[in-house]
Chain A
Amino acid sequence: MSQSYNRGLIEDFGRWKEFSAGMWAWIFHKFTGWMLIGYLFTHIAVLSSAIAAADGQTIMLEGEAVNAYTGTIQGLESLFIIRVLEVGLLAVAVFHILNGLRLLMVDLGIGLEAQDKSFYASLILTGVITVASVPTFMQGVGL
């Protein structure tokens, strides 16, 4: 044909309201997966302060000299924003685990008819577990 028209991604993100359960599950799984791998890199970086600590280096924490590892971690944990981010990380991990289990079932061909329900269940459970964990995560931190 001489010429044709490419509508590009017309239906993709502008039409998010029409996405179905399976599509949302995919988007969330992707998002949480990327967050987790991103966090893993950060996590190892922070834990690397153990190398300095083993070397005997210290840093100041609330006016006291403590070893570099303890100081780094407790310094971070004393920040409100870090605690909030940790709750976020928990939510992300819990969703990825629950939906990951759902995907494993789908891969085994189990319960395919209930795939939308199991997605909603993952979402709700994630919410419940996250909310229930807030007190533990927020323990002893001031605003």
Chain B
Amino acid sequence: MAERYSSFTPGGTGWLLQRITAAFLVVVLAFHFFQLHFITHAADVTFAGTQARMEHVGYFLTMVLFLVTATFHGINGVYNALVNQGLDGIQKKVVLAVLTIAGLALIAQGTYVALVMAGWA
């Protein structure tokens, strides 16, 4: 145990990013819920309405950033939870790879969808 540490910071960066994304998410997630359930009701969402929102560059960027931070935060959170349960060795590497791929795929798909909504793809 004593000698099994490395000289860089495994975990420290992830920990900090988890908190920074959380602080950002508080604001956007609350905004998102408000906008789509209280301002526009979810049942009244139409393609035209969505397109009108997404065409604003500011809104588009906010939504993509929302997607990226939420994905990082969620995937990193799940990974951490598994490490806490004692996941290690090969299994740990495999889980990390699978989660990373799933996260990247989610971001790619989500960004593409947003581009389509904005009419830019």
Direct A–B touching, Cβ under 8 Å: yes
Q: Find chain A residues with CB under 8 A from B100 CB.
A: none
Interface residues of A in 102-123 (CB under 8 A from B): 103-104, 107
Contact-residue bracket for chain B: 35 or more
Residue interface mask A41-64, B partner, CB < 8 A = 1 = 100100110110110000000000
Interchain CB contact under 8 A, A133 and B116: no
Q: Is the CB of A74 within 8 A of B45?
A: yes
- A103 CA to B15 CA, complexed, in Å: 12
Considering the complex, which residues of chain B in the window 45-97 have a beta carbon less than 8 Å from any beta carbon of chain A?
45-48, 50, 67, 70-71, 74-75, 77-78, 81
Structural contact, A40 and B81, CB atoms closer than 8 A:
no
- Also in contact, A74 and B117, with CB within 8 A (given A37-B77, A69-B50, A104-B19): no
Interface secondary structure of B, over-half rule: helix
Q: What's the minimum C-beta distance from A46 to chain B, rounded to whole angstroms? A: 10
CB-defined contacts of A28 to chain B, threshold 8 Å:
none
Tell whether, in the assembled complex, residue B41 and residue A33 are in contact, meaning their CB atoms are under 8 Å apart: no
Q: How far is the CB of A47 from chain B (nearest CB, A)?
A: 5
A48 near B43 (CB under 8 angstroms)?
A: no
List residues of B whose CB falls within 8 A of some A CB: 19, 22-23, 25-26, 29-30, 33, 37-38, 41-43, 45-48, 50, 67, 70-71, 74-75, 77-78, 81, 102, 106, 109-110, 112-113, 116-117, 119
Could you write out 17 A-B pairs with CB less than 8 Å apart?
A33-B74, A33-B77, A34-B81, A36-B70, A37-B77, A44-B109, A47-B113, A47-B117, A50-B113, A50-B117, A70-B47, A73-B45, A90-B33, A90-B37, A97-B29, A103-B22, A140-B43
